[in-house]
Structure 1
Amino acid sequence: MTDHAAFVVLPDMLTQAWDPWLDPREIETEAPTGPGAYLLALRLVSATALPPRLSRPDLTALTPGWYLYAGSARGPGGLRARVRRHARANKARRWHVDWLTCTADVLQGVFVQPGGHECALIAEARARLAVAVPVPGFGASDCRRCPAHLVEFDDAEI
């Protein structure tokens, strides 16, 4: 089902902040089929190009490290269908996060919240953890409340 490598143990701060995390291999059986929100724990092992619309002269790629991306699933198949798509490395690049998840070995874990909202999850991440917004507007082009739906961990936190 997934093109990604074996699940890597998430940093303690993630498992303490949100429980339980799904291993990407568990999506098919454990992720709910209803609507809600999710967090993707992403680990970039090399610099990864940004979507052209978000790239600028001083920032064309994300640096290696840990990231959290918050999204929502309101369509057919709900959370299971959306996170299943994110778990595949081979797909068309439709959303900002696809530029990251098309990179092999990037998806490390998924937290799903049935009925939840991605803005609340990213606000919680910003409140609970030492994170930074690496790219303003990433994943939040239709959001007026959040600076981005992608945050990066400070290297000291990992």
Structure 2
Amino acid sequence: MMSDDRGTYLVRLIPEHSGPVRIGRLGILTLAGGELLYVGSALGPGGLAARCRHHGREAARPHWHLDYLRPHCRVPGCWVARGLARREHVWARLLGTLPGASWPLARFGSSDCDCPAHLLRLEQTPETAALSALLGVPLVWRMARGRFEEFEA
């Protein structure tokens, strides 16, 4: 059974095609090479397990910006860090300092804060140890197999 621990997470997304994707009323995101990382928090009911499960599948009725992107990307898994600290804003900015990092659509996932975006495009996704060092917290990788059913850490 999955844990309902709360924390912050990174969803790794691999675009399955190139081209424009409409992200609700936010605008058009152009998929063009590289990989994408989405930063989020799961501090409410269900915690990390529920949020990673949600992002691991396509939403019947899109609600979040990521729900509009999901049908166009494969999700191999998520990195998670447990804790009640609200880290996603700091993480988004730190990830933006990686070589070759960019924010492919302004305000994606960040319409309620002053971050440039919570979605980043990277030429290459760093290893878990490098991400942990950059973000200053131990990260645990959770594969999407079985819809994150083996989430224990």
* TM-score where L is the length of structure 1: 0.67
Residue 62 of structure 2 corresponds to residue 96 of structure 1: no
Equivalent residues in 2 for 1:44-63, closer than 5 Å: 44-46=15-17, 47=19, 49-55=21-27, 59=28, 61-63=30-32
**CA RMSD for the aligned pairs?**
2.1
Residue of 84, 89, 98 corresponding to 1:119: 89
CA–CA distance in structure 2, aligned partners of residues 148 and 75 of structure 1: 21
CA–CA distance in structure 1, aligned partners of residues 7 and 20 of structure 2: 28
Cross-structure match for 1:110: 78
SS at match of 2:23: coil
Check whether the contact 2:10–2:79 (CA below 8 A) recurs between aligned residues: yes
- The structure richer in strand per residue is 2
Cross-structure match for 1:36: 7
- Tell me how far 1:78 sits from its aligned partner: 0.3
CA–CA distance in structure 2, aligned partners of residues 92 and 112 of structure 1: 25
Unaligned runs of 5+ in 2: 126-153
CA–CA distance in structure 2, aligned partners of residues 113 and 137 of structure 1: 23
CA–CA distance in structure 1, aligned partners of residues 120 and 29 of structure 2: 16
Cross-structure match for 1:71: 40
Cross-structure match for 2:104: 134
SS at match of 1:98: helix
Residues 65-100 of structure 1 deviation map (CA, whole Å, 9 limit, x = unaligned) = 311100111221101000101101253211001112
Unaligned runs of 5+ in 1: 1-27
SS at match of 1:97: helix
Cross-structure match for 1:19: none
Residues 30-80 of structure 1 deviation map (CA, whole Å, 9 limit, x = unaligned) = xx412211001100021351313121xxx4533343111001112211010
* TM-score where L is the length of structure 2: 0.69
The alignment-based identity, stated in percent, is 34
